[in-house]
Structure 1
C-alpha cells in the first residue's frame, strides 16, 4: 500500500503515480529541447593547446560539437585510396570542388544522416595531421556587406572531407583551405583548427573571401567560443601568420575597424562585440581560463580576454576534458548543464559529441594520433581513446539516428545525461562521477598497455588490426559500464519520484 508522507491517509492510485512519473521524465526531455532552441544550432566551444604547454609534449586541439539534443553522431574511418572521387558536391549547399584521386586514410564523426551534408567535423589522417571544423562565428554587417558570403561557397558540412585527406601538416591545412576560399568563396563565418606533432594553427573566416590564421604559441593555450578571436596580424612574419591576399588593403578600402599603421586586428575588422557576446561567448572564455589559469583573477562579464594564455600547470587531456565538461562548475554561476539566461555554459544538453585530438611525441607514428571521443555531453559521458591508424571503428559508433537506440554509443551516453537532468546534483555526484573515474582509470591503463604491446608488432597490416581491436575493447568496456549505470539511474529515479512527492512506500 502507498501512503502519503504528510497525511498517511490519502491513497495514490498506481495510474496516478505513473502519470506523475511520466510528467517528471517528459519534463526533463522537454527542458532539453527548450535549451536546444535557446541557441543557434551551430554553437560550439574550442580548446587549443601548444606542445610546450602540455604535460607530455603533445599538441591538442579539442571542441564540443553542438547541434541538437537528439542528433546522433557516428565515428568512422575512411580508407586510403588512389582512385577516389574527382568531383565533390555538398548536399548542404551544392558547393562543388574537384578533388585529387589520391586521398589519405582519415577518421571523422559525421552526422547520422547525410541529408544535409557530411559534417565530418573532426579527425586525424595518416600523416598524423588533425583537424576540427568548425567553431561557428559571427561577422559584423559592414564586413559582410563589403564581401558577402557565397551561397554555394565552402561551409562546415564539407570542410573536413575536402581538406583533411589531402594535407601533410597543419600549415598545409590552412593553405589548402585558403585556396578553396579564394576560388569558391566561403558560405559562412567559421573557425577551423589544424595540428600536427609540431604546430597548431587556428584559422578564421571573416567574410566571403577574407580569412586569417595564426600559429598558436607552443607554450600557450586558447579558449575560443563562437566569436572571431584573432587579433593583430603581423603578416610579414609568415611563420606565425597567414591571411587572404590583399587583406590589409581590403580593410582599409572599406574602412573597417582594427586598422592601424599597416596592421590589421582581424577580430575588430570582421568580428562582433555586443550584448550577445557578453552573455553567450565571453563567459565561456572566463570559465575555461579560470580552470587552466586559476591564478589570474577575472570576471565573466569583463569586456575583453587575452586570447593566448599560459596555464598554471602543464595541461593534460583530462584537464582539457574538464574544461569542455564545465557548466561554470563549482562557481556561483553553476548552471548544472543548463542555460538559465544568465551566462551560456560550455557544457550543454545539445552537445552531440566532444573530441580531443592528441598528436603524441616520442611514440611510433602508428600510435601517435589519438582521437578521444565523448559522445553527447562530456559532463555525463566519458572520453574514450581511439587510435586512428585503423581499418574500422566499433559498430556501436556507426549506428544511431534521431530516435533512441539502446545499441548506439551516442544514445547510451545521451541517456545518462537525460536521466541525470531532473536530479543534476545528487545523480551526478553520487552515481555518475564514480563510474566516470573508474572507467577513465581503466581506459588509461588499457591505452598504456596497448602502446606497449604495439611496439612488438612489426607488420603494418597486423599492427592496424591490433589497434582496431584495441579500440573495440575500449568502446565495449566503457559502453557496458554506462549501460549498467543507466539501468541503475532508472531504478534510482523511480524512488526519487516518490521522495519528491513526499510519498512513503510500504508493503501491504
Structure 2
C-alpha cells in the first residue's frame, strides 16, 4: 500500500455556483487496483476510542457521533481511509490532498510517525462537528496535541462556508476560507499563499505559527507571510506533476486567461468566468487534458502526451463531489456524488446524504481481486476494456455516460419534488429507495456496456486472421 495518495481537489463557494450550493470534491488516487466501499454510519451514543491500524495513533472520542457517509477501503489493515462524507448536520469533509513540507521546516518540527494521518482524519472529525469552521478547529487541536505523520490538505464545507486546511511539519497548520464567489483547484503541493493574521473571518491557524517561523528563520521574504513559500517545496517536480493540474482546472473555468502550465505563480483562488455547475466539477475531476497537446490519448507529440500528470488516471480509486444545496433541510441538502474507479471512465451517481444505508453492491467488497458484485469493480472493468481499445471504445463509453447522466438527473429532480412531501422514517425510506434506483441505473448501464465491449473485443485480437472464402 502506498503511504501517500496523489489526489486532485476542487472547492467552490456558494456564490460561485449556479444554484447557490457549496461544493468540495476530490479524486482519491493511490493504486490502479484498490477497491473502495460506500457506507453510512448511524448516529451513535456510546463511549469509544480510536486506535489506528496504521501506526500507534490513539485518541478518545466523544460519546455522541453524528450519522455520516464514508468511503472506506476494502481492508482496514493499513487504516480505515474513510476519505469523504457528509454528516447529518450538512457538514462535508474530504481528506486528504497529500502534500510535502520542505526539509528546513521539517528539521525544526519533524513529522510524528505516530501522529494523526490521512487514514484517521474523517473518522475522528466528521461525526463530531456541526459546521465547517468547527471541523478546522477540531482537526487543528488534534494536530497540535498529537502531531501529524504527514503533510496534507483537507477540505471542509457547510451550506454557508467552504474551507481549505493545510498541515505542515509535525504540528503546524493553517486554513483559509474560499471566498463565496471564488473556486480553487489543488494538486499535491501546499497551496495557501499570503495569510492575513488579523482576518479571523477568513483565516485560521495554530497559535504558535508566527513565532515558530520567526524563531527558526524560515520566512524567505522581507515582508508578508506566504505559507506556500515558507513551508512548501516548490521544486522541479511541481512543474510536471502538480501545477499542470491546477492550470487545467483553471483553463476549464477561465479559458480567457492565458497561463503557463508549469508556472509556479498560478493563484490558489480564482473567480470563474461563469457560474459553476456540477457537470463542470465532474469535467475537471475527469480531465486528462482533452483539447490540448498533453492528452495522453490525444494527437499531440509523444513527448507532449506524456509530459504532465493528468487529473484522471488509472490510480483513481473513487472520485467524489460533495454538494450542499441551499434552502433545504439537512436530510436532502447534501448530495454525495460518487464515481467509483477512474472518473473519466465512470459516472457520478448522486446519493442523498439523508439516506440511512447505501445499496448492497456498494458495501460488500472485502477482497482485492475482481468481484462482479462490487460497484467498484463494475466500473473498473469497463475502464480495463476501454483501455485495451481506447479509440474504438471510448465513444461508446461516452454515449453510455451521457445517457446515464440524463437518467440520473431526471431521477434526482423527481426525488427532490417527492421528498418535499415526506418526513421522518417515510423520508428516510424513500431516500434509501432512490439510492437503490440510482445505483441500478448506473450499474445496469455499465454491465450492459461490459457485455457489448467483451463481444466486440473478440474480433480485435492481434492473432486475428481474415479467411479467404474463395480458397
TM-score class normalised by the smaller sequence: over 0.9
1:227 maps onto 2:197 in alignment: no
Is 1:328–1:345's contact at 8 Å kept on the other side of the alignment? yes
Task: Find the counterpart in structure 2 of residue 408 from structure 1.
Answer: 374
Is 1:258–1:264's contact at 8 Å kept on the other side of the alignment? no
Residue 431 (structure 2) aligned to one of 467, 470, 473: 467
Q: Give, in whole Å, the separation in 1 of the partners of 2:403 and 2:87.
A: 30
Q: Specify whether residues 505 and 488 from structure 1 end up closer, same or farther in structure 2 by C-alpha distance, changes over 3 A only.
A: farther
Alignment of 1:233-272 (within 5 A): 233-261=195-223, 263-272=224-233
CA displacement at 1:502 relative to structure 2: 6.9
CA displacement at 1:202 relative to structure 2: 0.3
Alignment of 1:174-189 (within 5 A): 174-189=136-151
1:350 maps onto 2:320 in alignment: no
Q: Give, in whole Å, the separation in 2 of the partners of 1:304 and 1:494.
A: 50
Q: Give, in whole Å, the separation in 2 of the partners of 1:272 and 1:466.
A: 49
1:457 maps onto 2:431 in alignment: no
1:476 maps onto 2:440 in alignment: yes
CA displacement at 1:477 relative to structure 2: 1.1
Is 1:252–1:259's contact at 8 Å kept on the other side of the alignment? no
Task: Find the counterpart in structure 2 of residue 425 from structure 1.
Answer: 391
TM-score, scaled relative to structure 1:
0.89
Gaps of 5+ in 1: 1-36
What SS is found at the alignment partner of 1:53?
A: coil
Q: Give, in whole Å, the separation in 2 of the partners of 1:494 and 1:388.
A: 42
Task: Find the counterpart in structure 2 of residue 4 from structure 1.
Answer: none
Residue 362 (structure 1) aligned to one of 304, 315, 327: 327
CA displacement at 1:223 relative to structure 2: 0.7
Residue 213 (structure 1) aligned to one of 175, 188, 209: 175
Residue 203 (structure 1) aligned to one of 154, 165, 187: 165
1:52 maps onto 2:18 in alignment: no
Task: Find the counterpart in structure 2 of residue 157 from structure 1.
Answer: 119
Is 2:187–2:246's contact at 8 Å kept on the other side of the alignment? yes
Task: Find the counterpart in structure 2 of residue 148 from structure 1.
Answer: 110
Is 2:297–2:305's contact at 8 Å kept on the other side of the alignment? no
Is 1:84–1:103's contact at 8 Å kept on the other side of the alignment? no
Gaps of 5+ in 2: none
Q: Give, in whole Å, the separation in 1 of the partners of 2:350 and 2:136.
A: 26
CA displacement at 1:258 relative to structure 2: 4.7
Task: Find the counterpart in structure 2 of residue 6 from structure 1.
Answer: none
1:282 maps onto 2:243 in alignment: yes
CA displacement at 1:49 relative to structure 2: 0.8
CA displacement at 1:160 relative to structure 2: 0.1
Task: Find the counterpart in structure 2 of residue 102 from structure 1.
Answer: 64
What SS is found at the alignment partner of 1:232?
A: coil
Is 2:319–2:341's contact at 8 Å kept on the other side of the alignment? yes
CA displacement at 1:84 relative to structure 2: 4.3
Q: Specify whether residues 84 and 462 from structure 1 end up closer, same or farther in structure 2 by C-alpha distance, changes over 3 A only.
A: farther
Is 1:386–1:471's contact at 8 Å kept on the other side of the alignment? yes
Residue 264 (structure 2) aligned to one of 303, 312, 329: 303
Q: Say which is worse superposed, 392-401 or 39-48, in terms of deviation.
A: 39-48
For residues 171-203 of structure 1, the C-alpha deviation after alignment (integer angstroms, 9 at most, x for no partner) is 000000010011101111000000000000000
Is 1:251–1:264's contact at 8 Å kept on the other side of the alignment? no
Task: Find the counterpart in structure 2 of residue 82 from structure 1.
Answer: 45
CA displacement at 1:405 relative to structure 2: 0.7
Is 1:258–1:265's contact at 8 Å kept on the other side of the alignment? no
Q: Give, in whole Å, the separation in 1 of the partners of 2:190 and 2:102.
A: 10
Task: Find the counterpart in structure 2 of residue 437 from structure 1.
Answer: 402
Q: Specify whether residues 461 and 231 from structure 1 end up closer, same or farther in structure 2 by C-alpha distance, changes over 3 A only.
A: same
What SS is found at the alignment partner of 1:314?
A: coil
Paired residues, what number?
Answer: 465
Q: Give, in whole Å, the separation in 1 of the partners of 2:391 and 2:216.
A: 52
1:71 maps onto 2:37 in alignment: no
Q: Specify whether residues 120 and 343 from structure 1 end up closer, same or farther in structure 2 by C-alpha distance, changes over 3 A only.
A: same
What SS is found at the alignment partner of 2:85?
A: strand
Query: Based on CA coordinates, which of the two structures has the bigger radius of gyration?
Result: 1
Is 1:130–1:357's contact at 8 Å kept on the other side of the alignment? yes
Q: Give, in whole Å, the separation in 2 of the partners of 1:376 and 1:107.
A: 18
1:131 maps onto 2:97 in alignment: no
The list of structure 1 runs, each at least 4 consecutive aligned residues, that deviate by more than 4 angstroms after superposition, is 337-341, 505-508
Q: Give, in whole Å, the separation in 1 of the partners of 2:167 and 2:186.
A: 14
Q: Give, in whole Å, the separation in 1 of the partners of 2:468 and 2:369.
A: 37
CA displacement at 1:357 relative to structure 2: 0.2
Is 1:104–1:166's contact at 8 Å kept on the other side of the alignment? yes
Task: Find the counterpart in structure 2 of residue 32 from structure 1.
Answer: none
RMSD of aligned Cα (Å): 1.8
CA displacement at 1:506 relative to structure 2: 6.8
Task: Find the counterpart in structure 1 of residue 452 from structure 2.
Answer: 488
What SS is found at the alignment partner of 1:114?
A: coil
Task: Find the counterpart in structure 2 of residue 395 from structure 1.
Answer: 360
Task: Find the counterpart in structure 2 of residue 168 from structure 1.
Answer: 130
CA displacement at 1:213 relative to structure 2: 0.3
